[in-house]
Structure 1
Amino acid sequence: MTRIALQGDLLDFTSAPSLDDTASPAVRYRPDHWLLIGDDGRISAVQAEPPPADWPRERHPGRLILPGFIDTHVHSAQVDVLGAYGTALLDWLEQHTFPAERRMADPAHAAQISALFLDGLLAAGTTAAMVFPTVHVASVDALFSAAQARGMRLIAGKVLMDRHAPAFLRDDVAQSERDNLDLIARWHGRDRLAYAVTPRFAPTSTDAQLAMAGALMSAAPGLYLQTHVAENTDEVRWVAELFPQARSYLDVYRHFGLLGPRAMLAHGIWLDADDRAMLAHHGASISHCPSSNLFLGSGLFDWAATRHAGAAVTLGTDVGGGTSLSMPRTLADAYQVQALSGRRITAWALLHAATRGAAQALHLGHEIGSLEPGLQADLVVWDRAANPVEARRQSVARDLHDAVFAWLTLGDERHVVSTRVAGVERHRRGLIATDSNDLC
C-alpha cells in the first residue's frame, strides 16, 4: 500500500522566481505541514492539521521535503569515467568516454550499469531524468527496463553517430532509423517513459543522419529531442567547418528540423543573442551543466542573457563530464559559474530550475515538479545538516533564504533521508529498493 502521510517543512514554487530576489513571492514554504500520498501514488492533500487516524504517518520534524530533482542532461554509461583526468572536451571523448560506451554493447553490462546509475540518481535525490545511453540498442532497453522497474519518469533514446567516432560506436542511417522506430514502438509512452531522438552532437552525424533525426520527430506524438550545442570553442569552430551553410552551431539543428518545444540542448555556453532568440522562438530549452563546464574548462554559461531572451534554463549533472549525480552539488557549481561572471543567483532560482522549471520545460508540469495535490508523489526528504558544523550554520541562519542557501551549497547525497517515486519509497539512507514490496 502506497498511502502514507509525511510531516516536515515543505518547500516548492508556485511560479518562476527572479534570479536575484531572495524574498521572492514565488517561494512556497509550509513548515510543519502534512503531505498525504494516496494509494494511487499521487499527492492527495497538503495540510497543517494531522491526517485522520487511519493514515500511516511518518514524521520528519525540521527536515525539508522537496519535489524530486529533475536532471535534464546526464549520460548513463559515463559513471565509469567519473573524475577522469586531464583533457578538454574532444580529447576527453576519445580517451575516456568512447571506450566506456563501447562496453554497453554487452546486454549484461548495460543492465548492470543502468541499475547502478538509476539507483545513484535516487540516492542523490533525483527522481526524473533525461538521459543519454549509447548507440547500442541494448543500452536503451536496459535503461528503460530499469527505470520502469523503479517507476521513474525517464526520457532517453539511442545515440546517433555515423561519423567522426570510433568504428565500434558508429551506426548508419538506415539501421539507426529502424532501431529508433523499433525502440519508439517498444518504449515511448509506456508507463512513465518517453523517447528522445538523440544525435550526440552535430559533428558526429552526417547531413543524412540529421535529416533522418528530423523526420523521426514526427514519427510519434510527444517525442523529445536531446543533443549538445556550443559547449567548447574548439567544438564550435569544428561545426563551422563541417556546416559552412549554417549561421551558427544552433542553426544546424534548426536547418534539420530539430528545434522545437520538446528540444533540450545541453550547455549552450557559446551562443550569441541571435541564437538565444532562436531558442526562444522555437520553444527549445537549455540544460546548463555547470559541474561539467568547470571540470572540462569549457566556459561560463550566461544564464541571465538566456532567460532574458525568453528561453528556459534547466540543470544537468552531465555525468561523467560532471563529477557527481548530486543535484545540490550541481546547483552549488551553477552559483559559482554565475559568480565568476559577476552575478549572484539565489537558491530559489537554482531550486526552481531543477524542479518546477525543469518539469515545465519538459511539458511535465501537470505530473511532477511541485507539491500539489493531484501530481505524482515524486519527492525527497532532506536533512538540513549532515554534521555539527552544518548544524551550527543552520542555527545562526538569518532568514529562510540564508538557511536554504547554506543547505544547498553544503549539501549532497549524504543529506538525503528518503526518496519516493510515485509514492513508493525507492531509497532510504542505507537501503535501495526496486520493488514496492521491498520496503515497509
Structure 2
Amino acid sequence: MAVSPPPRQALRGDLLDFTAAPVWGDTASTAVRYRPDHHLLVEGGRIVGARPAAEPLDPSWSVADHRGHLILPGFIDTHVHSPQLDVIASHGTALLDWLDTYTFPAERRYADPAEAEAGAARFLDALITHGTTSAVVFATVHKVSADKLFEAARARGMRLITGKVLMDRHAPDGLRDDVEQAERDCTDLIDRWHGVDRLAYAVTVRFAPTSTPEQLAMAGRLCTSRPGLYMQTHVAENVDEVKWVAQLFPEARSYLDVYARAGLMNARGVFAHGIWLDDTDRALLHDHQALIAHSPSSNLFLGSGLFGWRAAEAAGIPVAVASDVGGGTSLSIQRNLADAYKVQAMAGERLSAWTALHAATRGAALGLGLGDEIGSLEAGGVADVCVWDWAAGPVAQRRHEVAIALHEKVFAWMTLSDERNLAAAYVAGVPRHQRGAVSPC
C-alpha cells in the first residue's frame, strides 16, 4: 500500500549539506552549508526551504522534532549488488575465485520469481535502514530480478537505477544469456520501467570477460536507443582480472578501451572501481564525463588494490562512493567512507570528511545527472533525508563532547557511526524508517 507524506512537514535538527565541491584537504570549506537547529520545510514530498527553529511556524506545518540530531541528504550508493547480501563476509578468496565460489551460486537463485521478489524487498529495506535512499544497483542475469527490483523501489518511492545483467560467456549454467534474448529482455524492461516515477534503466554489463564482443556491441547500441539510459559495469578492479581482459581482447589498448570500442562510454556511464587505470584511461573517462564508483571496503576486503582518488580528481573525473556489497562488508556508507580515508592514508593523502561526504551525496548526484533531485537539502529537491544521532555509545559520545571545530565533530561522526546511529529516514518525504522499523509500503 502506498504511503503519502504529510502535506506540510518541518523536520527539526542540525542541517548539513554542500553547495559546491570541497577542495581536497580543506577542513574549513566554504562549500559546506551547516545550519544548526533549523527546520527543513517539506511540502508534497519536496524540500521548499529551511529556517531557524527559533522562528515560529504557522499551524499548517506538522513538526518532526529531531533537535540535537544531524540531518543529511540520503546517501547515494553508486555501486551495489542486490543479490549479494547472501554472500557478504565470505572468507578467503580474491575477485575471480570469489565470483565462482560465492557470488554466482547466490545469483542463480534469483531465477525464481519468489526469491527475486523477497530478495528485492530485503535489499531495499536494508539500504533504507542504513541511510541510503538512492542507488545504482546490479540485479542478476535474470530478467525477473530487475523487474522485481523496479517494482519494489517504486513501492518505496525510491530513486533507483538498475538493469538486467548481461553475461553470455565465462559464467556457469543458469547465469548465461545470449545476445538476442538479452536484447529483447532489456528492451522490454526499458519499455516497462525507464522513466517511470523515480526509476531509470541501466544497461548492465557484468564485466568485459563475461560478455562476447557481439554482446558488448549490442549493449553499446542499447545505450543510445532511449534518452536518459545509464550504463554500469566494472573496470580495472583486480590485477588478474586486467590480465585476463588483455588476453581476451588483444586488440584493445586497455581494459577501459574495450568498453570504448563497444560504444559504452558516455556521460551516464558508471564504472565501478577503476583502480588499475593509466593517464590515457583517465583522460578517456574525463572526455566522456563518466563516473567512477569508488568501493573502498570491497577493494580492501578482496585485496584488489588502492584507488588513486587524487589522480582521478586531477583528471577531472567525478568520483562517488559505493558499498559494493557483497564484496564490500557493509551497506553503511559511513563505514565505507572510513575505509576510503584509510585507503588514501596509505597513499600519504588525508581525505577530509567534506570530500568524503560530498562524494556520497551531492557529488554522486551530480555525477549521475541528478543534482536537481537528490544529494542536497536545496529547495526544489526531493525530500530524501536521513536523521542521525551525532554519537552512539560512550566512546563516540565522549569524542563528540570534546571535539571543537565542525570538521572535527563530523569526521569523528563519519568514522565512528554506522546504521545504529540512524534515527529516521524519509524517502520523498515519507518516513520509511523510524528507529528500529521500516515503514510499510
Shared fold, TM over 0.5: yes
Question: Which residue of 201, 206, 211 maps to 2:207?
Answer: 201
Please say which of residues 229-238 and 390-399 is displaced more in the overlay.
390-399
Mapping 1:18-97, distance limit 5 Å = 18-38=23-43, 40-48=44-52, 49-97=55-103
Report matched runs for 1:308-347 at 5 Å. 308-347=314-353
Amino acid at match of 1:230: A
Structure 2 distance, partners of 1:44, 1:364, is: 18
TM-superposition CA deviations, 1:224-262 (whole Å, max 9, x none): 000000000000000001111111000110001100100
Question: What is aligned with 2:394?
Answer: 388
Is 1:6–2:11 an aligned residue pair?
yes
Show the counterpart of 2:133: 127
Distance 1:67 1:290 in 2: 21
TM-score (norm 2): 0.98
Structure 1 counterpart of 2:299: 293
Contact 1:34/1:51 (8 A) holds in 2: no
User: Under a length normalisation based on structure 1, what TM-score does the superposition of the two structures give?
Assistant: 0.98
User: Match for 2:400: what amino acid?
Assistant: Q
CA apart distance, 1:45 = 1.5
List aligned pairs for 1:6-405, cutoff 5 A: 6-38=11-43, 40-48=44-52, 49-405=55-411
CA contact (8 A) 1:131 1:154 kept: yes
Quote the Cα distance in structure 1 between the aligned partners of 2:162 and 2:338.
Answer: 26
Give the whole-Å Cα distance in 2 for the aligned partners of 1:328 and 1:394: 16
Q: CA–CA distance in 1 between the matches of 2:440 and 2:56?
A: 30
Q: Which amino acid aligns with 1:269?
A: I
Distance 2:327 2:104 in 1: 13
1:62 Cα shift? 1.7
Identity percentage of aligned residues: 65
Which range moves more in the overlay, 46-55 or 330-339? 46-55
The letter for the 1-side match of 2:13 is: G
Measured in 1, the distance between the counterparts of 2:195 and 2:396 equals 43
Q: Give the deviation of 1:434 after TM superposition.
A: 3.1
Deviations 1:43-72 (A, max 9, x none): 111111232122111222221000000000
Q: Is the 8 A contact 1:153 1:192 kept in 2?
A: yes
Query: 1:12 Cα shift?
Result: 0.2
SS of corresponding position for 1:30: strand
Cα distance between partner residues in 2 of 1:45 and 1:342: 40
CA RMSD of the aligned region, Å?
0.7
> C-alpha distance in 1, partners of 2:66/2:284?
45
Paired letter, 2:76: I
In the TM superposition, residue 286 of structure 1 has moved relative to its aligned partner by 0.2
* Structure 2 runs not aligned, ≥5 long: none
Q: CA deviation at 1:340?
A: 1.1
Structure 1 unaligned residues grouped into runs of 5+: 436-440
Give the match for residue 411 of structure 1.
417
Distance 2:93 2:181 in 1: 33
Structure 1 runs of 4+ with >6 Å offset = none
Q: CA deviation at 1:116?
A: 0.6
Deviations 1:235-292 (A, max 9, x none): 0000001111111000110001100100000000000111111100111110000000
> Displacement of 1:429 after TM fit?
1.0
Q: Give the secondary-structure state (helix, strand or coil) at the position aligned to 1:167.
A: coil
